[in-house]
Amino acid sequence: MTRKLFILPFILIILLSLGFVLPNNLPSINIKGSIVSENEARFSVELDRMGFLIMDGETIDITGGEKDIKVKKEGSSFKTHVYCGDRFGIGSSITVELKDIKKPEKYMIPGKDLSTSFKFDTDSMRLKVYINLYREVVVPMILVVENGDKEKRIPVEKNMKIAEKLKEGENEIYITTLLKPLNIEVSKTEIIIDIERLGALRLKIGERDIWKGGEKTTMDTSPFIISGRTFVPIRFVSESLGGTVLWDGKERKVTIILNGKRIEMWIGKNYAYVNGNSVPIDPDNQDITPFIKDDRTFVPLRFVSESLGMKVIWIGNFQEIFIFNPS
């Protein structure tokens, strides 16, 4: 009977392949994937519009087009996290987690007993999953897909195609295999997908235009590089991120408040106070200090952004900077 139930093992694999559909007005991203082993899935990712991509904390170079990434199994679940954004300051934060609730007795070997692949893009909002078995189904079974208040019942066949759509926010999907005719539950897996919109501030060296969330504004000056460090007009950038900037003309001090953090910096001084603690602005170059140019206060971008809990991505080929709040 165990051999006859060979179809059961691919339930988890189906879940690994069940991707997600992003909401409208997010980065135009194309993703393909396939299962290469019981413990690993391989995905190829391509952004149609240049920008940035971070996968599980690793910044991926997307200037060469399509890039491969891997997701490994940890314990009984697969979990991955992606940040992505384009040149219009449109981004997304996505978390995907797959959990085994009830496992079948054995797993089949991808590439030997079956092949599973999927593809989707955020323009069409369509996900297509393909499962091809190398043998005919012996025991009648039903695949039940529960997505919110919607339910699908699909007879298990040698060649299967599954299509799903998700909503913005958290989604919980349950995949259950039932043995006919008594509807005996033989496996069950949960997939949790959380999709959040991400406003990514995008700047470019030498340009006054700044993008966030698909909207463009124009600064009265532009970022530039000194001694390998990017300097920006702090008031415009900080307020674009939702922060508050205070200026003390007597002390020549600028104070930035954002995300419950407070940075105090002085013109011409190479240290700052972050939440009351003194820290060097640039341990590798003590000449890096805030300064005034054209009646605007300029500060080193990376120090300020990271001290405020922001993530900074530098795209050297295009001299572009992306800033976003990872929390």
pLDDT tens per residue across all 327 residues of the chain: 444 334 434 443 443 344 433 334 666 677 776 766 777 777 777 776 677 888 778 887 776 567 777 778 777 777 778 888 888 888 888 787 777 676 655 444 455 555 667 766 666 666 666 767 676 766 777 878 888 888 888 887 778 777 778 777 788 778 777 878 878 787 777 777 787 888 889 999 999 999 988 888 898 888 999 988 999 998 888 888 888 999 999 999 999 998 889 999 999 999 999 999 999 999 999 999 999 988 889 999 999 999 988 888 888 888 999 998 887
CA gap 322, 116 in Å, rounded: 35
pLDDT of residue 20: 39
323 contacts 305 by C-beta, under 8 angstroms: yes
pLDDT of residue 4: 38
Superfamily of domain 201-324: Copper amine oxidase-like, N-terminal domain (3.30.457.10)
CATH 3.30.457.10 domain position(s) in the chain: 201-324
pTM, rounded to two decimals: 0.74
pLDDT of residue 213: 84
pLDDT of residue 124: 64
pLDDT of residue 26: 64
pLDDT of residue 140: 78
Q: CB within 8 A of 123, min separation 6: which ones?
A: 28, 48
pLDDT of residue 21: 39
